[in-house]
């Protein structure tokens, strides 16, 4: 069978580079074109020396995209830029996986409220499938546009979905506390991610108004059919990659704490990339892989259910999940190209 042809728009950022890392060894895919407006004409390995001799393709301007017959395009673009691509190019000849937040929310109004920007392609919002395979596999298979989830929402939604779906917790009393490495902020230099600011430091940001809040709520509601309300606080860790999310929720009835772990294991037992563990996981246990590790426990003293989940924000939180979605869309084995063991230490 001939390989599917894909392109990566915006290939020089962290997620674009991670897509290349995963796709160059994918048995069923061929990377045909990679684009960058600022680095066009430069070899990819010149910008990313760790790809020397592994991937020497030259970056091209976006206008060259039509020179290729593609089956799928990955948009590794910033928020607010992907929707302009969809509006201007109106892709009908290939399918699209968008790694920005432009098509993750429920309406243009909600997008404008949280992203403070008018949506330029509102007609496509309802056409986009939310790309969390473990919960929305059927919608992803048939979609022409997939909105790849945010990294924080991936770690939170997967940890909370079993509890919400089975009416185990009160859906309006959920606290999500997340910590991320600095690659979650993207490759472009910022004062807040400057080494002297981050090293030896630990800080909260986006307090009460982070744009991943509605993404977590909306997609938990889609999956469970229950109105959900969360308070979400992200933090910046002085590490390069990885997310650890802790959630706190109130049971809606009696809880058998000894049974919770077994129940989670049963809920996710057919999922290749969800590992239910009997101890709180750490970020190095998933580093470089597409795994999400989840631990769940019950605190009888405070009557709270606590979950701890970890992912690599660039893999399961971005590029790895995008490849997993691509596999579903093309009917490949879902774990193709993603059977990578974590790096530790």
Whether residue 117 is found in the same domain as residue 163: no
Contact 166, 249 (CB under 8 A): no
Active-site choice (22, 128, 151, 230): 151
Whether residue 212 is found in the same domain as residue 102: no
Q: How many domains does the chain have?
A: 2
Q: What is the CATH number of the domain that holds 76?
A: 3.40.50.720
What's the pLDDT score for residue 162? 96
Say if strands 292-299 and 304-311 run parallel, antiparallel, or are unpaired.
antiparallel
pLDDT over threshold 80, residue 66: yes
Sign, CA torsion 319/320/322/326 = positive
In a domain, 174, yes or no: yes
| Mean pLDDT score across all residues of the chain | 94
What's the pLDDT score for residue 91? 72
Would you call 167 helix, strand, or coil by DSSP? coil
In a domain, 279, yes or no: yes
Whether residue 161 is found in the same domain as residue 301: yes
Q: What band does 197 get if pLDDT is binned at 50, 70 and 90?
A: confident
Contact 300, 286 (CB under 8 A): no
Q: What band does 206 get if pLDDT is binned at 50, 70 and 90?
A: confident
What's the pLDDT score for residue 264? 96
Q: Which residue's structure tokens are 């093309």?
A: 330
Sign, CA torsion 230/319/105/208 = positive
pLDDT over threshold 70, residue 1: no
Tokens encoding 146: 């997939």
Tokens encoding 54: 């592994």
Q: What is the CATH number of the domain that holds 268?
A: 3.30.360.10
Whether residue 83 is found in the same domain as residue 186: no
Whether residue 19 is found in the same domain as residue 55: yes
pLDDT over threshold 90, residue 202: no
Write out pLDDT tens, residues 253-310: 999 988 899 999 999 999 999 999 999 999 999 999 999 999 999 999 999 999 999 9
What's the pLDDT score for residue 199? 87
Per-residue pLDDT, averaged over 185-196, amounts to 77
Whether residue 13 is found in the same domain as residue 109: yes
Write out pLDDT tens, residues 119-172: 999 999 999 999 999 999 999 999 999 999 999 999 999 999 999 999 999 999
In a domain, 339, yes or no: no
In a domain, 110, yes or no: yes
Whether residue 195 is found in the same domain as residue 325: no
Whether residue 189 is found in the same domain as residue 308: yes
Whether residue 261 is found in the same domain as residue 174: yes
d(CA 334, CA 340): 13
What's the pLDDT score for residue 193? 80
Distance of CA 55 to the CA centre of its chain: 24
pLDDT over threshold 90, residue 184: no
Give 196's strand partners.
none
In a domain, 70, yes or no: yes
In a domain, 342, yes or no: no
In a domain, 335, yes or no: no
pLDDT over threshold 70, residue 7: yes
Would you call 168 helix, strand, or coil by DSSP? coil
| Domain limits for position 320 | 4-149+316-330
Whether residue 275 is found in the same domain as residue 320: no
Write out pLDDT tens, residues 10-59: 999 999 999 999 999 999 999 999 999 989 999 999 999 999 999 999 99
What's the pLDDT score for residue 319? 98
Q: What are phi and psi of 194, to 5 degrees?
A: -65, 140
In a domain, 127, yes or no: yes
Q: Which residue's structure tokens are 């400057």?
A: 194
* 151 is known as an active-site residue: yes
Whether residue 195 is found in the same domain as residue 104: no
Write out pLDDT tens, residues 39-53: 999 999 999 999 999
Write out pLDDT tens, residues 78-129: 999 999 999 988 677 899 999 999 999 999 999 999 999 999 999 999 999 9
- Identify the DSSP state of 94: S
Which has the closest alpha carbon to 34: 53, 3, 6, 54?
6
Whether residue 263 is found in the same domain as residue 159: yes
What's the pLDDT score for residue 117? 94
């Amino acid at each position: 069978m001939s390989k599917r042809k894909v392109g990566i728009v915006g290939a020089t950022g962290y997620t674009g580079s991670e897509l290349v890392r995963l796709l160059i060894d994918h048995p069923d895919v061929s990377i045909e074109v990679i684009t960058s407006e600022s680095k066009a004409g430069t070899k990819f390995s010149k910008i990313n020396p760790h790809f020397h001799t592994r991937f020497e393709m030259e970056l091209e301007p976006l206008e060259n995209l039509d020179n290729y017959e593609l089956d799928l395009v990955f948009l590794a673009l910033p928020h607010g830029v992907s929707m302009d691509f969809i509006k201007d190019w109106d892709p009908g000849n290939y399918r699209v996986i968008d790694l920005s937040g432009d098509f993750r929310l429920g309406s243009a109004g909600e997008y404008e409220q949280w992203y403070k920007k008018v949506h330029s392609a509102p007609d496509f919002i309802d056409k986009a499938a939310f790309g969390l395979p473990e919960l929305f596999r059927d919608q992803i298979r048939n979609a022409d546009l997939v909105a790849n989830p945010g990294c924080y929402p991936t770690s939170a939604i997967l940890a909370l979905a079993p509890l919400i779906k089975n009416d185990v917790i009160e859906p309006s009393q959920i606290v999500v506390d997340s910590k991320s490495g600095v690659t979650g902020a993207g490759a472009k230099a910022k004062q807040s991610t400057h080494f002297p600011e981050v090293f030896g430091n630990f800080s909260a940001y986006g307090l009460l108004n982070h744009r991943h809040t509605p993404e977590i709520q909306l997609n938990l509601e889609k999956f469970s059919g229950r109105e959900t309300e969360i308070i979400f606080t992200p933090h910046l860790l002085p590490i390069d990659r990885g997310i650890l999310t802790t959630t706190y929720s109130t049971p809606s009835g009696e809880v058998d704490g000894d049974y919770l772990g077994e129940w989670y294991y049963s809920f996710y037992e057919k999922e290749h990339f969800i590992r239910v563990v009997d101890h709180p996981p750490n970020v190095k246990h998933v580093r470089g892989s597409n795994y999400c590790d989840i631990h769940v426990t019950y605190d009888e003293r405070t009557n709270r259910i606590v979950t701890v989940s970890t992912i690599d924000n660039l893999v399961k939180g971005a590029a790895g999940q995008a490849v997993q979605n691509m596999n579903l869309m093309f009917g490949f084995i879902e774990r193709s190209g993603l059977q990578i063991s974590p790096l530790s230490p």
